[in-house]
Structure 1
Amino acid sequence: MTSSVTTPLADPARSRPRPALLVLEDGRAFRGEAFGAEGETFGEAVFNTGMTGYQETLTDPSYHRQVVVMTAPHIGNTGVNDEDAESRRIWVAGYVVRDPARVPSNWRSRRPLDEELREQGVVGISGVDTRALTRHLRERGAMRVGISTVETDPEALLDRVRGSAQMVGLELADEVTTSEAYVVPARPGEWGEKRFTVAALDLGIKSMTPARMAERGIEVHVLPATATLDDVLAVGDGAGPDGLFYSNGPGDPAATTHQIELLQAALERGVPYFGICFGNQLFGRALGLGTYKLTYGHRGINQPVMDRTTGKVEVTAHNHGFAVAWPEGVPLDHPVQTPYGSAVVSHVCLNDDVVEGLELRAPDSEGGGLLSFSVQYHPEAAAGPHDAAYLFDRFVTLMADRKGA
């Protein structure tokens, strides 16, 4: 006896590719197929060089208003799970991939990436020559872009792209921050119970950041981007926090004023400060330095950075389109005097010498000790690498020294 298996016929409506169009503001166009939600979206076109961690990328608030081009050709292999999201939602304005996985294959997967993009209303495009698109952005720089599944005329879409907002001049922290303060309690572990209390300003914070602090015995009070100095000083049962932290986030640091004034007030009071990414740029501006827009930015999990304090080279995770401008004519190894102490460059990118970290030190007459510091990259690195995790330990040591713990 023989048996047969009847295979269901494919749904023609599902199998038929949905055309999609991508147009850059300089007029270059790419055609492909819809990936995610149908509709139209606009943002700044940037590329990410990570070969893994796409779920963390999608849910990183720093990508708000940006259309992310993935340089790795095959995306979606591990699907989407319920554990790896870095925030409450997907923040990218659009998503561009070459070859999306047809079926996810991972024991933690709960749903396909395409389904998640559709459910969250994220318009994307697949089947695009992402290598050619990335090379174009490397040569011409990050620029505005539009993706549409409803427009077939590149010229018509180009008009709308050129009418969309540019990233320069945008203050976006208020659009991604928490609406209410909340606490991430310290986790008992090798550090014991709670050791320190930190006020963390949410400018687009990733969930792994307070988790890295909590596992080191830090109770983290996450505050909205609109928090005042009184809000910060109220942390720690009214005794004030042991430290102040500024998170990553989107937007132009030159368009931000409130958070800079708050940071300057905290530095005047001697509160130890640690900032990452956007927090590094705001630290620079609080110290009197400038910021500028990079041609195409650093985005990915394979950026080489040297810690100038140790000489160690780290492979790091990045996502930034702006950087701190060191004063013209001043060597990177020379300090700059500020109203709060001496500012020095602690980290540099080995690809292009971009300033990747700052330290604020006391005057030599007071011992020249570390007062505050920041880095441009992401030491929490949920998707890896973890070379820079020691920076959270450095923050602990800084607070312990000040507290005498």
Structure 2
Amino acid sequence: MVSRRWKTSWPVDSKQASNLRSDGLVRTELYLMTSTALSRRAREARDWMLDSCFPLWSREGVLPNNLFREKLDITHRPLETDRMRVRVQARQTYMFAAAKRLGWDAGRADRLIGYGVDAMSGPSVRADGLIGRCISADGAGLIDETADLYDTAFVLFAYAHAAMQGHEDAAAHARQLIANVDAKLEDVAHGGYAESLPRGDRRLQNPHMHLLEANLALYESDERRDHLERASALVRLLDEKMLHQVSGTLGETFGPDWSEERDPALRFIEPGHQFEWVWLLKSHADAAHTDLNPAMSKLYDIGLRTLDAEGRVFAKATREGQIVDGSRRTWMQTEALKAHLAMMELGADEHCEARAVECFDVLMDEYLTPEGGWIDCYHADGQVGADDMPASTGYHVVLAFCELLRVTGV
């Protein structure tokens, strides 16, 4: 694939660079050049979503019984599976809610959103009102009834976005589900929520991160204070339990009481999640009208330390930023893009926009297909690591591109 990477022609000599930084006119010109490059890529992102991604997944990504498919093959054709993850039903519902908001075929988008709401509120629900993990491909009901906080968070997130696009029943389903989550999963003794029922022997940051995202979306959809209070409690959980107090990095697993992970094999960080929290912490501060969380800059810095020369994000690193797993997936690049955009909005430094441009180009050049699909992952040696296209990846790409459109005003 031909690279379209934007390359700066500005001098790299430190004395020259210092002189340029002291010249307000030159700094303005640099800003405008980068902004123009970013806006051009935002238009490319919009076109890719409207002309390729949404048509592809609405055509090939839906079963005759209106469930969303798990995946397509590498040629963008459907693959049959005997089970569907509930998170896929939720993420695709979000994707078509975003499609409607962007002006893509409102009638078609509404039908697809409705399919998702029906799947999430029907066969995905356990007898106790919580959400299970997997439903059968025929839509008869759950075949993995494990209550899972991660999947539940995405159902809440999808309900919120469906409600924002006029699906009033989604709002009612969200209110009932979040009440069940509070009643049956909240861990009053240690903080946060049970990641699953039955409970596991470790605490996990990832489901809590997405529950924060879901509550911010719920607050955007109906502005009930309990959504914002729940989101703020999850941010406090990050500050008090999840962040490593010495390095400022974010762990993935913890002891049952949120104590530090003891297994050396699990004491890694995922750079993609460091970046994802940067965006979420800014989003929370914007919603709550509070000061920015100091963890943002630390998480962003550790994420930057793990990037390669072209801005790629890799799977795992030490707390010091040394890569220990050089594989890389699409979602990691999208979270870096969102973090660069968040820090750019805050005026963190003059390089954030150029990083966003570079990150977008990595996505378009190496991961996304012109037909609206994606190469989901690469091995550490650079070889393609997947022979299918998981539908679940679309949520990451569309959300990052919607942020790009919002920030640039395109």
TM-score (norm 1): 0.29
Highest RCO, 1 vs 2 (Cα 8 Å, sep ≥ 6): 2
Going by fraction, where is strand more abundant, 1 or 2?
1
Bigger Rg, structure 1 or 2: 1
Going by fraction, where is helix more abundant, 1 or 2?
2
